Amino acid sequence: MKNIPKMSLTSLFLIIVMIVTAGCSSTEKASSTNHSKLITDDSKPYVGFLLDTLKDERWYKDKALFEEEIKKLGGQVKTLAANGLDEVQIKQAQLLIEEGVDVLVVVPHDAVISAEIVEIAHEAGVKVVSYDRLIKNADVDYYISFDNEKVGEIQATEILKKVPNGNFAYIGGAESDNNAILFRQGAMKVLQPLIDNGTVKLVHDQYTDDWNPDIAKENMKTALSKNGNAINAVIAANDGTAGGVIESLAGVGLAGTVPVSGQDAELEGVRRVVQGLQTMTVYKPINLLAVKSAEMAIMVAKGEEVKTDKQINNGKIDVPAVFLDPIAITNENVRDTVIKDGYLNEADVFK
């Protein structure tokens, strides 16, 4: 018997997705011109929601809130998550278009590769809303997110309140995610003048592949090692990377003594804030983002005009955009923000 080569889980998953897609009979597939809806009430707007991943806690919240609001507004929605695989996300977009979606709302895995989703959608007459993360180099119809440069500004400002000078490390998110670039740009707006006058020394500056906390942990280990553990403050791009950073700090006895930023107000991140291990996180009220995005999606699906007051250049066009305001969360205002809003439960936070 010949040896059969082993197949990776990723390859197997891609094959399954392609089989499912290819297996749709001709009677099931929608024409790119008439968009007959296969699994929905044809009288209701049909929204496709493409998520990068459901590995992170926050995206479960986005999914639940967005779907609930779409249904409240009289629409129907189908959500697919690509688990960080670009080929899968593109294939999922094709599947939803074939099923007759009126609009695609996309959280891209890779800001550049996902431009193909926009091309495919527009060929079929389907508009695309870029959700929270900007799709680059494409004719995106709308973008909705928080002011992500402001997120970085808030992170740097809060850390400087604790440590106004010294050796700083920046542990960013995934460079393939445009938000990670915007977070860093915002932080550098605050830090650069201090770096220029010598008040702050940026001794380590590194993005983190796939926002992976384990990689962030290794990046922080490198920063500590090459600086003899002499790191006075860390700006971490989100709560996941902050968790990895804090693990590395704990390994050299510095957890709780070196200020560390975060973002997303994830439960574990907020717990670390109240425990004194993490200095702050950034709360982006996902309920507001989900509701506003759902409203936009339904309007686009119905062919109605969406009013925006901002634009953001994605490398190809100035995309009509809506920006929402992020909020700094510290030990002092946890109860008045994420708990008061019902975003997190007090008993869980102070467990």
Q: Which domains are delineated in the chain?
A: 31-140+286-324 (3.40.50.2300), 148-284+328-349 (3.40.50.2300)
2 pLDDT more than 60:
no
Average pLDDT, the chain: 90
User: Do residues 297 and 70 touch, judged by C-beta distance below 8 A?
Assistant: yes
Residue of 292 and 22 predicted with greater confidence = 292
Residue 170, both tokens: 């920046």
Q: pLDDT of 330-350, one tens digit each?
A: 999 999 999 998 999 999 999
Instruction: Taking residues 27-53, report their average pLDDT.
Output: 67
188 pLDDT more than 50:
yes
Instruction: Taking residues 266-271, report their average pLDDT.
Output: 97
Selection from 226, 223, 238, 156 nearest residue 195 by Cα: 156
User: Do residues 276 and 48 touch, judged by C-beta distance below 8 A?
Assistant: no
pLDDT value of position 57: 79
pLDDT value of position 282: 98
Q: pLDDT of 95-143, one tens digit each?
A: 999 999 999 999 999 999 999 999 999 999 999 999 999 999 999 999 9
pLDDT category of residue 15 using cuts at 50, 70 and 90: very low
pLDDT value of position 20: 40
Instruction: Taking residues 27-45, report their average pLDDT.
Output: 55
Compute φ and ψ for 128, nearest 5 degrees: -125, 130
pLDDT value of position 56: 81
Q: Name, in order, each residue with C-beta under 8 angstroms of 14's C-beta and a sequence gap of 6 or more.
A: 85, 87, 88, 91
* Bridge-based pairing state of the strands 200-206 and 166-171: parallel
pLDDT category of residue 243 using cuts at 50, 70 and 90: very high
First to last CA, the chain: 57
Instruction: Taking residues 208-235, report their average pLDDT.
Output: 98
User: Do residues 220 and 248 touch, judged by C-beta distance below 8 A?
Assistant: yes
pLDDT value of position 38: 58
Residue 190, both tokens: 């605050």
Cα distance between residue 114 and residue 133, in whole Å: 11
**pLDDT-above-70 percentage for the chain:** 89
Task: Give the type of residue at 274.
Answer: V
What one-character DSSP code corresponds to residue 150? H
40 pLDDT more than 70:
no
DSSP H helices in 124-266 = 148-162, 178-196, 213-226, 239-251
* Bridge-based pairing state of the strands 46-51 and 233-236: unpaired
Instruction: Taking residues 230-234, report their average pLDDT.
Output: 98
Q: Name, in order, each residue with C-beta under 8 angstroms of 249's C-beta and a sequence gap of 6 or more.
A: 220, 224, 234, 255, 257, 258, 260
86 pLDDT more than 90:
yes
Phi-psi category of residue 35: left, alpha or beta, with phi > 0 → left and psi -120 to 50 → alpha: left
pLDDT value of position 351: 84
Q: Name, in order, each residue with C-beta under 8 angstroms of 57's C-beta and a sequence gap of 6 or more.
A: 266, 267, 268
